[in-house]
């Protein structure tokens, strides 16, 4: 974090991230096959959603790299009061197994665009796409040490990152139980924490709905990605007249 990445012009960081996005685009079939074989996903869905979404995310945040500004605050005539925004430091990104490439990029792209460095722990079951992104990042011009991919079990790698005094922020997607443990571990040195934890999402179908569309959407909502989605439609509430 204290090396060349933090001192680099924001526009140059953005250019490097755009180069990485182009490399991902040119290796899209390879990334899709890695994700498919590693996570057991149908390749059509990976090509339609996971890979394009990861590239779009990176492109979007690359454009933000030189547009993160402070503010001048009008307090009184004889004082200049202003705010600046600085990178938070070293970010530990702990990624789940259901959308390794896409969720991984949701964490990597904004952190890198802001000038942070990242240690990413992919799920131990699905680490291949993250490792390939690490290789492509070096090819794109990211200085060594800016993006670090560390596979391994959460109880060893994840716990070490959460407790490490040089990690400034933890971002985690996964179960509420693990999220609670991360909050406890981060409290020791007041790490910043972002958590996306499991939820319960309801589909609500009224009697004036397009029932063909509603039933297809309800089925897709629970069976897409084998139901392993943070926003899976795990409950269906149907008005009594159209319940059958």
pLDDT, position 198: 78
Task: Output the pLDDT for position 189.
Answer: 87
d(CA 179, CA 193): 10
Catalytic residue list contains 230: yes
pTM of the model: 0.91
Write down the pLDDT at residue 122. 97
Write down the pLDDT at residue 199.
Answer: 72
Q: Which two tokens stand for residue 89?
A: 């430091």
- 244 residues of the chain, pLDDT tens digit each: 888 998 899 999 999 999 999 999 999 999 999 999 999 999 999 999 999 999 999 999 999 999 999 999 999 889 999 999 999 999 999 999 999 999 999 999 999 999 999 999 999 999 999 999 999 999 999 999 999 999 999 899 999 999 999 999 999 999 999 999 999 999 988 999 999 997 778 999 999 999 999 999 999 999 999 888 888 998 999 999 999 9
For residue 32 the two structure tokens come to: 């899709």
Tokens of 25: 């685009």
Structure tokens at 43: 């390749």
216-226: per-residue pLDDT in tens? 999 999 999 98
User: Is residue 36 annotated as part of the catalytic site, yes or no?
Assistant: no
Query: What pLDDT score was predicted for residue 6?
Result: 83
- Give pLDDT, residue 128: 97
Considering 12, 33, 124, 196, which one is annotated as catalytic?
A: 196
Q: What is the pLDDT of residue 1?
A: 86
Burial of 6 (0-12, 13-18, 19+ CB in 10 A): middle
Give the span between the Cα atoms of 225 and 45, in whole angstroms.
Answer: 9
Three-state helix/strand/coil letters over 41-102: CCHHHHHHHHHHHHHHHHHHHHHHCCCCCCEEECCCCCCCEEECCCCCCEEEEECCCCCHHH
- The number of beta carbons lying within 10 Å of the beta carbon of residue 139 is 12
pLDDT at 166: 95
Catalytic residue among 12, 22, 33, 230: 230
**To which H or E segment does residue 125 belong?**
none
């Amino acid at each position: 974090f204290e090396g060349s990445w933090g001192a680099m012009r924001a526009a140059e960081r953005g250019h490097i991230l755009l180069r990485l996005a182009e490399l991902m685009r040119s290796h899209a079939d390879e990334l899709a096959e890695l994700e498919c074989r590693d996570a057991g996903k149908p390749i059509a869905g990976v090509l339609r959603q996971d890979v394009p979404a990861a590239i779009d995310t990176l492109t979007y945040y690359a454009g933000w790299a030189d547009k993160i500004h402070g503010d001048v605050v009008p307090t009184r005539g004889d004082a200049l009061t202003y705010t600046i925004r600085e990178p938070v430091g070293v970010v530990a990104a702990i990624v789940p197994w259901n959308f390794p490439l896409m969720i991984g990029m949701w964490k990597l792209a904004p952190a890198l665009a802001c000038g942070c460095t990242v240690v990413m722990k992919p799920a131990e079951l699905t680490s291949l796409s993250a490792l390939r992104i690490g290789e492509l990042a070096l090819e794109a011009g990211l200085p060594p040490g800016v993006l670090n991919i560390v596979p391994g079990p959460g109880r060893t790698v994840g716990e070490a990152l959460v407790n490490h005094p040089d990690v400034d922020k933890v971002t985690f997607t996964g179960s509420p139980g693990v999220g609670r443990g991360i909050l406890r571990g981060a409290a020791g040195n007041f790490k910043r924490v972002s958590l996306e934890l499991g939820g319960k999402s309801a589909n609500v179908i009224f009697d004036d709905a397009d029932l063909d569309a509603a039933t297809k959407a309800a089925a897709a909502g629970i069976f897409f990605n084998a139901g392993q989605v943070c926003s899976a439609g795990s409950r269906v509430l149907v008005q009594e007249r159209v319940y059958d």
